[in-house]
Structure 1
Amino acid sequence: MKISILSIGDELLRGSTTNTNLAAIGRELGAIALFPVMEMAAKDAKDDILDALGILFERSDLIISTGGLGPTSDDVTKNVVAEYFGLNLHEDAKIADRIRTFWSARRFGKMPENVLNQALVPDGAKVIENKTGTAPGLIIESRKLKKTIIMLPGPPHEMYPMLMESVIPYLSSTSKEKLYTEIIYLSGIPESCVEQKAAPIASSAPGLSIAYCASPESIKVFLSGRDMALVAKKMNLIKKELGEFLLSGDAKTIAEEIIFLLSKRKIMLGIAESCTGGMIASAITDVPGSSDVFSGSAVVYSNAWKMKILGVKKGTLEKYGAVSGQCAKEMVEGACKKFNTASGISVTGIAGPAGGTVEKPVGLVFIATRYEGKTVVEQYNFPGTRDMVRRRAVSSALNQLRKQIISCSA
């Protein structure tokens, strides 16, 4: 089965909205070894959508589209697709009733008639229930054209549940080629080094494909093939080769790994942040169950508050500066004392774009971690934009603590 993705919306082409739907769909398709062959973005315009359908259907059997299913005049996806397949539209009474109930429950006042445009369904289409919005998803299977399209709404909070609850099971059940995929999550190692270690293992057996997905937070490795036993065998070898970087348990992010490790040891965590501005605490509290190990965080930008809240010495700041290993050390030790924890993280640095000097350039970050009475301080020099420096600081800080916990437990 060859699958393409069609993202519809003027806002995507203008750059005013980030296309997170594409990343989500690609990720979840990859998890079931159905890798898209092509993706296009099109304006909310009939001719553009028709052109995109023609191009994509030349290269694929199935298209997953997002966007253009709402009630306004620029939401034309459904009408254009119906025309492409030569289908008429009819109002689905069940969907119309649900839309009226949804509208009434939110007390928006009188419902405009065009809202019920969302209840129009192409003849023969399968309806995908939208539990968080009003525009249903639709599946059209054309035996004549031997083509299928799955239409999903554009808002990510509506699209993603429908993708996971309906589309992925549908694709898994209809795919003629049964492929098996295993995924592992790694941290603290460059993608190129992962490939250097994993690729020879995957290529030693015919019929296997390996793919990598890197971000500042982690690296995902996908291994796919038709022989389930062979996929499992080779992935176990890859896990063995990359064991020190492998996230444990069911962790998919380094933050989940930290929660897992500290929960297992019944140890609490305190955090002090300067240049990351609370991003580490945010990553930790994004994880369900983080309250079991996370005591609190202090975001301290000014030197005065570094001294007042964390107890950083005035002499340290005057001699070494706020961006220094000495300051980071006193910050993490102050955080552990303040929050009464046995583990801690502190970060201080220059995220840019301004503020750097020859001695302390933009991207210079000091990270201190503390675990069971021992403090480790490391210096990093991160390239990239302010956002990338901060994101890399977050992942490096969490990984530094992870390595310290594991080494102390070995």
Structure 2
Amino acid sequence: MTDGTPKARPTSNQAVIIAVGTELLFGTTVNTNAAEISKMLHEIGIGVLAHHTVGDNPKRLKRTLDIAFEQADLVLVTGGLGPTQDDLTKEVIAEHFALELEHDEEAQRRLTTFFESIGCPDFTENNLKQTYLPHGCIPFYNNAGTAPGFALHDPQSDKLIIALPGPPREMRRMMDDSVLPYLTGRSRYTIYSETLSYFGIGESNLETILLPIIDGQTDPTVATYAKEGECKVRITSMREDADAAKAAVREMVERAEGLVAAYREAE
């Protein structure tokens, strides 16, 4: 059994992820970012409703943004923040919210320092494109590369979008350094989870055994899923009080283990 750590729960607990890049559609690059972001969001209590992949095409990205915001109030976009002409993610986001792009001095300072640190002589002017961000956004400076990300909240619609760089190493670093702390800091709620592992029981059989606690569940929630050679049960509670969340999960864990023990004894 693996005990979870209580964490702050974000205001929006459902999200959609958009991965931008024509190379993802060609199959020359595997979209690992969506899976990694989904896992990170799940660990802080945010469920992912959908993954979308779109090429470097502003019209298609705009339509995809519209679809994503119909599905959830929180959208995370990865890719398309670089210096080339086909990197248009922030431009499309700014247009979506009717905002201008503004020069960010800290982004330029970091960009200049980065190129100096690697001794790169061929700094081209198009790199400065990365120093412009949508008006009113919260910048997430890139500690593993050059292109900054950002969070942008629209108070009228209460929609929140987060833009992340496409390179997986940069995305992971920005999620850890900036995005996850930002999201968890938006709410007073906490999430607590525990995961149970079972061997020798199929997922469908395990779900049947646990139906007394799965049917009609509200909080805590109980979810079964299969991995190679084993089945797991994740039990999660989201409450204002961390101790109350942990107590609720512990009670449900005892009920689950009791049901499985009774099944094994009857075999």
Structure 2 distance, partners of 1:108, 1:56, is 39
TM-score normalised by length of structure 1 = 0.54
1:141 to 153, 160, 173: 153
Q: Give a deviation string over 1:185-239, Cα, whole Å, max 9, x none.
A: 6374565154344454444754332234444376553222335121232134445
Deviation at 1:148, TM superposition (A): 1.1
Aligned match of 1:158: 170
Q: Classify 1:163/1:91 alpha carbon distance in 2 versus 1 (closer, same or farther; 3 Å).
A: same
Deviation at 1:154, TM superposition (A): 0.9
Secondary structure of 1:72's counterpart equals coil
Structure 1 distance, partners of 2:237, 2:104, is 41
| Correspondence 1:216-295 to 2 at 5 A | 216=228, 220-226=232-238, 228=245, 229-238=247-256
Bigger Rg, which one:
1
Q: Classify 1:161/1:191 alpha carbon distance in 2 versus 1 (closer, same or farther; 3 Å).
A: farther
**1:183 correspondence with 2:162:** no
Q: Could you tell me whether the CA contact under 8 Å between 1:69 and 1:78 is conserved in 2?
A: yes
**Greater RCO structure (CA 8 Å; 6+ sep):** 2
Deviation at 1:139, TM superposition (A): 0.6
Question: Aligned pair count?
Answer: 242
Q: Could you tell me whether the CA contact under 8 Å between 2:25 and 2:55 is conserved in 1?
A: yes
Deviation at 1:46, TM superposition (A): 0.6
Q: Could you tell me whether the CA contact under 8 Å between 2:220 and 2:252 is conserved in 1?
A: no
Structure 1 unmatched runs, 5+: 244-410
Q: Give a deviation string over 1:59-78, Cα, whole Å, max 9, x none.
A: 21110111101111111101
Deviation at 1:15, TM superposition (A): 1.8
Amino acid at match of 1:150: I
Structure 2 distance, partners of 1:198, 1:52, is 38
TM-score normalised by length of structure 2 = 0.80
Structure 2 distance, partners of 1:137, 1:217, is 39
Q: Give a deviation string over 1:164-199, Cα, whole Å, max 9, x none.
A: 2322222222247x3523132637456515434445
My pick for the range that moved more, 160-169 or 124-133, is: 160-169
Structure 2 distance, partners of 1:158, 1:220, is 31
Q: Could you tell me whether the CA contact under 8 Å between 1:65 and 1:150 is conserved in 2?
A: yes
Aligned-CA RMSD value: 2.5
Structure 2 distance, partners of 1:195, 1:9, is 39
**1:26 correspondence with 2:38:** yes
Aligned match of 1:122: 134
Structure 2 unmatched runs, 5+: 1-11, 240-244, 262-267
Q: Give a deviation string over 1:320-340, Cα, whole Å, max 9, x none.
A: xxxxxxxxxxxxxxxxxxxxx
Amino acid at match of 1:7: A
Q: Could you tell me whether the CA contact under 8 Å between 2:18 and 2:77 is conserved in 1?
A: yes
Amino acid at match of 1:234: M
Secondary structure of 1:37's counterpart equals strand
Amino acid at match of 2:144: T
Secondary structure of 2:84's counterpart equals coil
Amino acid at match of 2:191: Y
Q: Classify 1:214/1:24 alpha carbon distance in 2 versus 1 (closer, same or farther; 3 Å).
A: farther
Structure 1 distance, partners of 2:83, 2:226, is 38
Aligned match of 2:5: none
